[in-house]
Amino acid sequence: MYRISMNKKLNRLKKNIIKDKYLLILAAPILIYYFIFHYIPMYGAVIAFLDFTPGYGIWGSPWAGFRWFKEFFQSVFFWRLIFNTLTLSVLSLIFSFPVPIIFALLLNEVKRKNLKRMIQTVSYLPHFISLVVMVGILSNFLSPTDGIVNQILRKAGMEPIDFMGESIWFRPLYIGSGIWQSFGWNSIIYMAALTSIDPNLYEAARIDGCNRWQEMRHITIPGLMPTAVMLLILAVGNLMNVGFEKIILMYSPATYDVADVISTYVYRRGILDAQYSFGAAVGLFNSVVNFILLISVNRISKKITQIGLW
């Protein structure tokens, strides 16, 4: 009985392969790419459990067990790092996730084609500014001695503020500049989703006497929902990965208490101090947390909205 079903399955597989051979050939390069560049390198994660020494290589270095994980969990900064990482990314998510959606909805209401296109282009230009330049602009504009913002403050009779050196300003600056840089670009996907909404729906609504507000509320927003939820799930899966390049550029010892996150800590210890195994262990921990977050959010979303990644 068992063998028969196995044979059946194999036969079906063979048939399917033959049937879909062109699709498979089309998909092959991508699959091979992911296998070579994203799966094979994963074996390097094993150095998280080794006392990695360059000359001995991965398989010659002695095992260290969970030593690096223990070291990380016992670090006095463990909770601060977790807290900062989560705070920064949750706040970023809360503030920056709705912006492109709102922007896309607003833009959708602009009826003049040229104006619409111009606004869109202007809004996503900041996306192309490199982070280094971005942070350079920030620190020049906000400099307490000659930055334009502080000059205005001074003219208004206020004390200059050391924006880049004060802990309380770090999060607003990080998130605000992030929104400025990315909302236009991120709205593109919503704009695309909007075009896929059936115009007949709007027509029907208008015949039924809907005003534009009601159209948006009952047609446009539900039409955007699947895209929004999926992007949200993906974003949650990346909660533990905050944009560490930007933080490295923005922070200084004066703002470590809010700005130091897991990835910057890994950078300082793993790369600058060349403690590869330690860095790998913390990185692995980070990925596992992300993995768990992603899976659970996907589950929850499937239960509630029936929308999921798989």
Partner 1 sequence: MKRLNVKRLARDRQKGNMAGKTRYICLLLGTMIAFSFILTGCSGSPDKLNGNANDTPSGIPLEEMVTEEYELPIVKEPFVLTFATAENPHASSSYTSNLPAWQELEKRTGVTVKFEVAPSDQYNTTMQTRLAAGTDLPDLIRLPGDPIRYVNGGLIIPIDELIGKYAPNIISLFKERPEVKKAMTAPNGRIYTLSAVVDARSMVNLNGLGMRKDWLETLGLEEPDTIEEWYNVLVAFKEQDPNDNSKKDEIPVIAINTNGLYKLAWSYGLHLYLSEGWYPNEDGKIVYEWIEPRMKDWLQEMNKWYETGLIDPDMNTQNRDKYTAKAIGDVAGASVSDMTMQFPQWNERMAKDYPHARWEGIVPPEGPYGDRIMEREQPTENTHYAITKDCKNPEVVIKWLDYMYASRDGQILMGNFGLEGLSYEMVDGEPRFTDFILKHELGSGLAQNVLGVNGNFPRILMREMIEQRFLQYEGEVAQSNKATQYYVPSFPRVLATKEETDSFIRIMADIDTYKDGMVIKFIQGKESLDKFDQYVKSVKNMGIDEAIAIKQAQYDRYMRQ
Residues 177-216, one symbol each (x = binds partner 1 by CB under 8 A, - = not), give: ----------------------------------------
| DSSP code for 36 | I
**Residues near 122 by beta carbon (within 8 Å), at least 6 away in sequence:** 184
Structure token pair of residue 66 = 């969970």
Residue 60 interacting with partner 1 (CB under 8 A) = yes
User: What is the nearest approach in angstroms of partner 1 to the Cβ of residue 37?
Assistant: 9
Residue 160 interacting with partner 1 (CB under 8 A) = yes
Q: Do residues 62 and 51 lie in contact, with contact meaning Cβ atoms separated by under 8 Å?
A: yes
* CA distances for 111 relative to 105, 108, 116, 117, 241, angstroms: 12, 7, 7, 11, 38
Residue 158 interacting with partner 1 (CB under 8 A) = no
Which residue lies nearer to partner 1 by CB, 39 or 83? Answer: 39
Give the largest Cα separation in the chain, rounded: 89
Instruction: Identify residue 4 by its one-letter amino acid code.
Output: I
Residue 26 interacting with partner 1 (CB under 8 A) = no
CA-CA-CA-CA torsion sign (283, 286, 288, 290): negative
User: What is the nearest approach in angstroms of partner 1 to the Cβ of residue 4?
Assistant: 24
Give the footprint of partner 1 on residues 66-105 (CB under 8 A).
71, 75-77
| DSSP code for 63 | B
Give the footprint of partner 1 on residues 238-257 (CB under 8 A).
238, 241, 252-254, 256-257
Which residue lies nearer to partner 1 by CB, 116 or 127? Answer: 127
Q: How many CB atoms lie within 10 A of CB 233?
A: 20
Residue 139 interacting with partner 1 (CB under 8 A) = yes
Write phi, then psi, for 261 (nearest 5 degrees): -120, 175
3-state DSSP call for residue 298?
helix
Which residue lies nearer to partner 1 by CB, 162 or 245? Answer: 162
Among the listed ranges 100-108, 171-179, 207-215, 283-291, the one in contact with partner 1 (CB under 8 A) is: 283-291
* CA distances for 266 relative to 39, 49, 99, angstroms: 22, 16, 31
Residue 176 interacting with partner 1 (CB under 8 A) = no
Q: Interface residues with partner 1 (CB under 8 A)?
A: 30, 34-35, 38-40, 42-43, 46, 52-60, 71, 75-77, 139, 143-145, 160, 162, 164-167, 230, 234, 237-238, 241, 252-254, 256-257, 260, 265, 268-269, 271, 273-276, 287, 290-291, 294-295, 298, 309-310
